């Protein structure tokens, strides 16, 4: 399932700057649901971004989205749904494609997926990207105000440090 592709305007096809101004992804970059065959590359990308991958399993992949340039996985983001809320997790972009707006595209695609799943609020934990997420409309929240479902998640309970900032977007 292809979630979004676009045309390059005002930039050379395949260049990173094509992601910025047009609001579209170059045709060579495809956002799609992760599949079993993507698990190893997805986990490798998470490790390179210093993000936890030990709980990423084939069963969880159904709520992960990946960005692919040709055959190479260059970005990932995941959702952990819990009834009407979800934990946004594992946003990573390959170093050579970072800083050009691709992360914003991944977050927007995850938000679209969450809306299709009737998710009313998206929570996340971050140790380094709180300003990035604030620009995307997320707000800080005290950790003790998280819903029980989010507090009970493996990410919240043990994988992310207690110093991680909790954020939410209604």
* Three state DSSP letters for 115-140: HHCCCCEEEEEECCCHHHHHHCCCEE
What is the DSSP code (8-state) at residue 97? Answer: G
Residue 120 has pLDDT above 60, yes or no: yes
Instruction: Provide the mean pLDDT of the chain.
Output: 86
Among 58, 54, 77, 56, which Cα is nearest to 66's?
Answer: 77
Give the separation between CA 110 and CA 128, rounded to whole angstroms. 19
Buried b (16+ CB within 10 A) or exposed e, 30-67: bbbbbeeebbebbbebbeebebbbeebeeebbebbbbb
Burial pattern 78-88, b for ≥16 Cβ within 10 A else e, equals: bbbbbeebbbb
Q: State the pTM of this model.
A: 0.83
Q: What is the pLDDT of residue 23?
A: 59
Which residue did the predictor score with more confidence, 26 or 9?
A: 26
Sign of the dihedral through C-alpha 121, 127, 133, 139: positive
SS3 170: coil
Query: Domains in the chain, please, with CATH?
Result: 2-169 (3.40.630.30)
Q: What is the pLDDT of residues 39-90, one digit of tens each?
A: 999 999 999 999 999 999 999 999 999 999 988 999 999 999 999 999 999 9
Q: If you average pLDDT over residues 140-164, what whole number do you get?
A: 92
Judged against a pLDDT cut of 60, whether residue 16 lies above it is answered with no
Task: Count CB atoms within 10 A of the CB of residue 159.
Answer: 16
Helices (H) and strands (E) in the chain, counts: 6, 8
User: Strand, coil or helix: what is 9?
Assistant: coil
CA distance 35 to 65: 9
């Amino acid at each position: 399932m292809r979630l979004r592709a676009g045309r390059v305007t005002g930039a050379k096809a395949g260049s990173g700057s094509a992601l910025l101004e047009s609001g579209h992804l170059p045709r060579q970059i495809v956002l799609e649901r992760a599949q079993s065959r993507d698990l190893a590359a997805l986990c490798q990308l998470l490790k390179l971004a210093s993000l936890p991958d030990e709980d990423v399993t084939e069963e969880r992949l159904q709520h992960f989205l990946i960005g692919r340039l040709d055959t190479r996985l260059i970005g990932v983001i995941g959702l952990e749904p819990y009834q009407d809320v979800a934990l946004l997790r594992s946003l990573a972009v390959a170093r050579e494609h970072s800083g050009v707006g691709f992360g914003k595209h991944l977050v927007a695609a995850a938000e679209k997926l969450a809306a299709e799943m009737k998710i009313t609020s998206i929570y996340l934990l971050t140790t380094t990207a709180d300003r990035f997420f604030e620009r995307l409309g997320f707000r800080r929240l005290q950790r003790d105000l998280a819903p029980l479902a989010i507090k009970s998640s493996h990410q919240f309970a043990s994988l992310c440090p207690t110093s991680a900032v909790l954020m939410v977007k209604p």
